Chain A
Amino acid sequence: MNNRRTVIWVVASILLLALAAGGGYYFVHNFKITKQQKAAPSPESADTMLGQPVDTITLRLHYPSGNRLEITEKPIPRRIRTSAIAEAIIEEYFKLPVNAADSIIPAQVKLLGLYRDGMQILYIDLSDELRRNFHSDALSEYLLLKGLYETIVSNIPDIQDVKVLVEGKEIETLGGHLLLRYPLKNTVSAEVRAEVPLADEQ
């Protein structure tokens, strides 16, 4: 009886020790990562040291405006990593312009993730606001996607194509007119043909 109690105590102690060791390792490991992250300043933070950007790059944003895309240049603090540049591009693209009432850019779209595959396709994971806050016609949908594609490939030359995901998933369509199941290049590479050129439409 006494032996059994001793055994139980020993087993319980071993389990407790193992648990403590596991927990300790987990916290130390996480703490170390956080510390490393804190220790290594990002290029962005280095750029804005002392509150003043030391170097900038200029983004070319292809914004839908009326029946066409217009290029706007926007200087931002220099980024080194492609992912940081892509992040800045997408955040700038979905920032509402001054005359937001006329804009077809859906509001409150957040960038959830970014990654690129071996074929240099950039996967952009956006929040559901992209779909929920887009209420427009076929041409607007085309211009929104074309603008996004052109903005990314013109600023990051090694990106071959762009694939849009919503909340981490492929969706069939953004606004019920064009397919989003495939990367954008082919969807937006065909130009709109019109009897009267779009730019001349009143």
Chain B
Amino acid sequence: MEHIWRMYSTMKKWLLPLVFLCLFSSALAAAKMTEVSLRYGRQENTIRIVLEGQDELIRNANTITSLSSVRIDFPEAVEIKKQKDFLFETVQKDRFFVINLRDVVDIKTYKLSSPPRIVIDLKSAPKPVKEPLKEPLKELGVKPNIKAPLETQPPAQKSQKDPLPTDAAKAPVPAGQTAPQKPQQPGQTPAASSAPEKTRRLKLLVIDPGHGGYDQGIVLQDTREKDLSLALAKDLNTVLAKKGLTVFLTRKTDQPLSLQERTNFASSKKPDLFISLHASKEDRWNIYTATADEPGTDTAVKMYSSTSKQGKYLEKSRAIAKVLATAIRKEFRGTVALRELALPLLTSLDAPAVIIEYPLAGNSSYDQKMRERVIKTLLSGVTAYE
């Protein structure tokens, strides 16, 4: 009996620390797993709340929304780490988390991966702004190199944008031009507005060679869209620079560039014209301008939709597209399709913008002679508009 007792007391020495160690480590692991961070960003009447946590936790969470509260039922107990000065009152108990809302008129929730997160977009009732917005809207958790368009609006442009009329029929004064322009009459046709005015001059252009890096674009035999667009952009840059225009290229080498990076770069230069060069799979030239209407009424998308930015310049963009189409038809005697589509490269720009697609199909061959013809044509189009 004494022997067993002695064995038991010795075992206690070993077992107890072992049990405690196990319990402590599992408790530590559990605590780490169930942590959910809560952050928010705001812009005008829209607030975005992001709850980020472990994949399984987010995937299996149920979100119940009303205009007065958001209730999230997690599959297990969680610890919510709130951003300081969070706007709303919250209640948390075990696996339930409730956000009590105020003055919200619309609410949307999304579940996104990479990183796993629940995104809650709230639209509050419009009211007079008492103080300027301090914090840009952040879609927290998106890859660092991809920023929401609203985040990247240069402050200089914002201040310039405010006094300008939002009516699409009223063409704003191009950047760098001080002479006041006569506003167009409502109902004026695009053709009428496209007539060259003496005061209108192109001074600064941004040319965007499409694709780049791993994104090759269309590949036809040995010709890759990314290379051809870059070569054409460089040639166009040379001839336009000789004419005294300032030209910026979004890329000068074979490098990948996101759409966001392209529009950010172009916006920062405040160009009088943005031309993006792409190839078409069809055996014809296509020139795209942005669409006039909003693609939808979804709050979340409207936040990022920048059709309104391009809206002011739409008439100019259409006028440039028509002039370029005329020059191309004259030189190549083929069809040129003028199309309007809500392409982000166009809609998110605060400048006249077109996407030109040259044909890269059938027997299209872009030797030196052909490239010179293309450049000559584009130059005559730009000059005609100028």
Q: Which residue of B lies closest to A116 (CB)?
A: B111
- Known A7-B14, A136-B281, A177-B343: A172·B258 in contact at CB below 8 Å: yes
Residues 125-160 (chain A) with a chain B CB within 8 angstroms: 135-140, 142
* Pick from A135, A173, A175, A189: contact of B295, CB under 8 Å: A189
Produce 1/0 per residue, A44-83, CB < 8 A to B. Answer: 0000000000000000000000010000000000000000
Produce 1/0 per residue, A160-202, CB < 8 A to B. Answer: 0000010011101101111101110111011011111010011
Residues of B within 8 A of A202 (CB): 335
- Known A119-B110, A168-B114, A193-B340: A140·B14 in contact at CB below 8 Å: no
| Count of interface residues, chain A, beta-carbon cutoff 8 Å | 48
Q: Which residue of A lies closest to B300 (CB)?
A: A182
Residues 279-297 (chain B) with a chain A CB within 8 angstroms: 279-282, 284, 286, 288, 291, 293, 295-296
Does A137 lie within 8 Å of B278, measured CB to CB?
yes
Residues of A within 8 A of B343 (CB): 138, 177-178
Does B341 lie within 8 Å of A176, measured CB to CB?
no
A115 to B284, CA, bound (A): 40
Residues of A within 8 A of B341 (CB): 138-139, 142, 190, 192-193
Q: Is B195 an interface residue (CB 8 A)?
A: no
Does A4 lie within 8 Å of B10, measured CB to CB?
yes
Measured between C-beta atoms, what is the minimum distance from A179 to chain B in Å? Answer: 5
Measured between C-beta atoms, what is the minimum distance from A196 to chain B in Å? Answer: 7
Does A176 lie within 8 Å of B210, measured CB to CB?
yes
Residues of A within 8 A of B259 (CB): 172-173, 176, 179
Q: Is B365 an interface residue (CB 8 A)?
A: no
A67 to B142, CA, bound (A): 34
Does B14 lie within 8 Å of A194, measured CB to CB?
no
- Which of B7, B288, B339 counts the most A-chain CB atoms under 10 A from its CB? B339
Residues of B within 8 A of A136 (CB): 218, 281
Q: Is A10 an interface residue (CB 8 A)?
A: yes
- Known A4-B10, A176-B215: A139·B339 in contact at CB below 8 Å: yes
* Pick from A104, A172, A176, A185: contact of B146, CB under 8 Å: A172
* Pick from B62, B258, B339: contact of A192, CB under 8 Å: B339
Report the interface size class on chain B: 35 or more
A121 to B300, CA, bound (A): 14
- Which of B63, B279, B282, B338 counts the most A-chain CB atoms under 10 A from its CB? B282
Residues 224-249 (chain B) with a chain A CB within 8 angstroms: 225
Does A192 lie within 8 Å of B340, measured CB to CB?
yes
Q: Which residue of A lies closest to B279 (CB)?
A: A137
Produce 1/0 per residue, B326-362, CB < 8 A to A. Answer: 0000000001011111111100000000010100000
Q: Is A6 an interface residue (CB 8 A)?
A: yes
Residues of B within 8 A of A10 (CB): 7, 11
A68 to B62, CA, bound (A): 39
Residues of B within 8 A of A192 (CB): 339-341
- Known A11-B14, A195-B337: A178·B296 in contact at CB below 8 Å: no
Q: Is B108 an interface residue (CB 8 A)?
A: yes
22 contacts between A and B (CB under 8 A): A11-B11, A117-B111, A121-B110, A136-B218, A137-B281, A137-B357, A138-B343, A138-B355, A139-B339, A139-B341, A169-B114, A173-B259, A177-B278, A178-B344, A182-B300, A186-B296, A186-B301, A189-B295, A190-B291, A190-B295, A194-B340, A201-B335
Residues of B in contact with A (beta carbons under 8 Å apart): 6-7, 10-11, 14-15, 18, 59, 62-64, 108-114, 142, 146, 210-211, 215-219, 225, 258-260, 278-282, 284, 286, 288, 291, 293, 295-296, 298, 300-301, 304-305, 335, 337-345, 355, 357
Closest 4 CB pairs of A and B: A186-B296, A193-B340, A169-B114, A190-B295
Residues of A in contact with B (beta carbons under 8 Å apart): 3-4, 6-7, 10-11, 67, 104, 115, 117-119, 121, 123, 135-140, 142, 165, 168-170, 172-173, 175-179, 181-183, 185-187, 189-190, 192-196, 198, 201-202
| Supplied contacts A67-B282, A118-B62, A192-B340, 19 more A-B pairs, CB within 8 Å | A3-B7, A7-B7, A119-B109, A119-B110, A123-B113, A135-B217, A135-B225, A137-B280, A137-B281, A138-B278, A139-B280, A139-B341, A170-B113, A177-B278, A185-B296, A193-B291, A193-B340, A194-B337, A201-B284
